[in-house]
Amino acid sequence: MGTPRRAGPPYGLPAQATTQGGQFWTPIGGQYSTPVDTQTAMIENGFVSIPQSAPWLAEYLHEMTVFPNGKHDDQVDSTAQFLDWFKKPFPGQGIFEYYRREAEKLKPPKPVYVRIKAPPGIGAVQTFSGRHITIGEDRIAKMSEEDANCLIPVGWTLLTEPSCDASG
């Protein structure tokens, strides 16, 4: 068996990095910063969600707030490492993007709306899709193109061409 050796800096750490108490410090703009410093903006801008209650929360928040002057920094280091990992593309990420896009295709299309005029004497209508629409004095209603197509053969008049405007 050989003499135990201390592990060196992680692969890819800049050559000018130094250590203090096992923590790697990397010069940025003439000053030394810790790996968590590079994640501060992500945390401050609200991209990190922390639960409001958890058995470990008080200890975690204490360690995060007293860093780098606290006794422990393991949770700070692991948080910084995770956020650094999370921001980088990884091999195989394409498959996740592929399935995300496939899931988007499964969403129902947004309905296309049209304006349609009711025949005289109609005060309300129950549409094919199940909507109940009260007809005003002008006898004009806004509904999906699919619903309108069911009413046109029985005397309703199409007033506008289809639009993707869903307000109605």
| pLDDT > 70 fraction of the chain, expressed in percent and rounded | 73
| Residue 42 domain-assigned (yes or no) | yes
| Residue 11 domain-assigned (yes or no) | no
| Residue predicted with more confidence, 91 or 44 | 44
Q: Are residues 81 and 121 in the same domain?
A: no
| Residue 101 domain-assigned (yes or no) | no
Q: Give the pLDDT mean for 8-33.
A: 42
Q: Are residues 75 and 119 in the same domain?
A: no
Element (H, E) at 158: strand 157-158
In this predicted structure, the answer to whether residue 137 has a pLDDT above a threshold of 70 is yes
> Which pLDDT score, from 0 to 100, does residue 115 have?
93
List the domain range (segments joined by +) for residue 127. Answer: 113-158
Number of domains in the chain: 2
Termini Cα distance of the chain? 78
| pLDDT > 90 fraction of the chain, expressed in percent and rounded | 29
> Which pLDDT score, from 0 to 100, does residue 92 have?
72
Mean pLDDT, the chain, rounded, equals: 76
What is the residue whose two structure tokens read 């000018």?
16
Q: Are residues 25 and 80 in the same domain?
A: yes
- The pTM score is 0.37
In this predicted structure, the answer to whether residue 32 has a pLDDT above a threshold of 50 is no
Q: Are residues 71 and 127 in the same domain?
A: no
Q: Give the pLDDT mean for 138-160.
A: 92
Whether 102 contacts 124, CB under 8 Å: no
The three-state secondary structure class of 105 is helix
Q: List own/partner pairs for 105-113 with CB under 8 A and 24 or more apart.
A: 110/164, 110/166, 111/144, 111/145, 111/146, 111/166, 112/144, 112/145, 112/162, 112/163, 112/164, 113/142, 113/143, 113/144, 113/145, 113/162, 113/163, 113/164, 113/165, 113/166, 113/167, 113/168
> Which pLDDT score, from 0 to 100, does residue 38 have?
73
| Residue 8 domain-assigned (yes or no) | no
Q: Give the pLDDT mean for 54-73.
A: 87
| Residue 163 domain-assigned (yes or no) | no
